[in-house]
Amino acid sequence: MKNGKYGISDVAEMLGVSKSTVSRVINGNEGVGPELRKKVMDFINEHSCIDIRRYTKSFLCGFGIQYSENP
């Protein structure tokens, strides 16, 4: 536990599941049954133990357009 927050390893150990399972739940990946997913999310939400934003993915896409008034 760092800074009063539990990490993925801590949550996995407390729930008796693998770190991969906790990670899959947080990231919304497949491979976790609905009951186990609910159990993990309920635990995380109830204990406010993981900052989920830290583990979720975000993507940034940018593009440039060249503009000219003279053909």
Q: What is the pLDDT of residue 16?
A: 94
Which is nearest to 54 in space by CA: 63, 46, 44? 44
Domains with residue ranges and CATH for the chain? 8-55 (1.10.260)
pLDDT digits over 12-21, tens only?
998 999 999 9
Instruction: Enter the pTM of the model.
Output: 0.65
Q: What is the pLDDT of residue 18?
A: 94
For residues 1-17, b (16+ Cβ closer than 10 Å) or e, as one string? eeeeebbbebbbeeeeb
Q: What is the pLDDT of residue 28?
A: 85
Q: Report which of residues 54 and 8 the model is more confident about.
A: 8
pLDDT digits over 27-61, tens only?
888 999 999 999 998 888 887 666 555 555 555 55
